Chain A
Amino acid sequence: EVQLEESGGGLVQPGRSLRLSCEVSGFTFEDYGIHWVRQVPGKGLEWVSGISWKSGNTAYADFVKGRFTISRDQAKNSLYLQMNSLKTEDTALYYCAKGSIVAITVAIRGDLFDFWGQGTMVTVSA
């Protein structure tokens, strides 16, 4: 059974940092991309970042480039999102999602998301 479980969310002041984690299991994740997608409560979905699990190739949405860094630890089956210089507009529920396209290079082409975690809430406020 495919499982993704996020953690690390919380309340943080503007300009500070936070690191999200996502533990993944239940599939041969070396073949896929894993992504972060966020959602402001009551609003729509926004793709944030993705990583090709095997190659480590990464991609970012323009609104987080230079501030967020995605990474993975293959030995721990874990995905991370290091979020620096946080802004109030980064407040959202952050989902970890498995990509569906095999052998994807996330910086070159798009992906769709077939399994999702339950999300971890990040609140950026003074």
Chain B
Amino acid sequence: DIEMTQSPSTLSASVGDRVTITCRASQTITDWLAWYQQKPGKAPKLLIYRASGLETGVPSRFSGSGSGTEFTLTISSLQPDDFATYYCQQYYTYSNTFGQGTKLEIK
């Protein structure tokens, strides 16, 4: 199975900061990568598809990039609503594996 590794596991930042989360795949997944946001007690929400495609309704301060084995999710200017846990997920193979998550905390 393809393993997905996110870094950092926890990120402390302030409103207005630019932040980047990294996701690495154990083998190439071309650009079959999605990013999700999850808030406590809620289901995950799809943010990014195909590594860089912005899901409908997601604010443009979110962006994704990368291909092959290394990917990033960037939030250009953190808003209070963005403090949450973020997951990457590969869908190159049917095992659909997720990263372990990155918790974005208020500094």
User: Which residues of A does B touch, CB under 8 Å?
Assistant: 35, 44-47, 50, 59, 61-62, 95, 97, 100-101, 106-114, 116-119
Contacting pair B46 A112 (CB below 8 A): yes
How far does the alpha carbon of A97 sit from the alpha carbon of B44 in the complex, in Å? 10
Contacting pair A112 B98 (CB below 8 A): no
List A contacts of B55 (CB < 8 A).
Answer: 114
Contacting pair A47 B43 (CB below 8 A): no
CB closest residue in chain B, given A112: B34
Tell whether B96 is near chain A: CB-to-CB under 8 Å: yes
Contacting pair A45 B91 (CB below 8 A): no
The answer to whether residues A44 and B98 also contact, given A110-B32, A118-B43, A119-B43 and a CB cut-off of 8 A, is yes
Tell whether B1 is near chain A: CB-to-CB under 8 Å: yes
Tell whether B87 is near chain A: CB-to-CB under 8 Å: yes
How far does the alpha carbon of A117 sit from the alpha carbon of B43 in the complex, in Å? 7
Contacting pair B92 A44 (CB below 8 A): no
Contacting pair B93 A110 (CB below 8 A): yes
The answer to whether residues A110 and B1 also contact, given A44-B101, A116-B43 and a CB cut-off of 8 A, is no
List A contacts of B94 (CB < 8 A).
Answer: 50, 59, 106-111
Min CB distance, B5 to chain A, in Å? 12
The answer to whether residues A45 and B95 also contact, given A113-B46, A114-B55 and a CB cut-off of 8 A, is no
How far does the alpha carbon of A112 sit from the alpha carbon of B55 in the complex, in Å? 12
List B contacts of A59 (CB < 8 A).
Answer: 94
Contact of B98 among A45, A100, A107 (CB under 8 A): A45
Tell whether B64 is near chain A: CB-to-CB under 8 Å: no
How far does the alpha carbon of A31 sit from the alpha carbon of B92 in the complex, in Å? 19
A-B contact pairs, 15 of them (CB 8 A): A44-B87, A44-B101, A45-B36, A47-B96, A47-B97, A61-B95, A62-B95, A107-B94, A109-B93, A110-B92, A110-B95, A112-B49, A114-B46, A116-B44, A116-B45
How far does the alpha carbon of A117 sit from the alpha carbon of B46 in the complex, in Å? 13
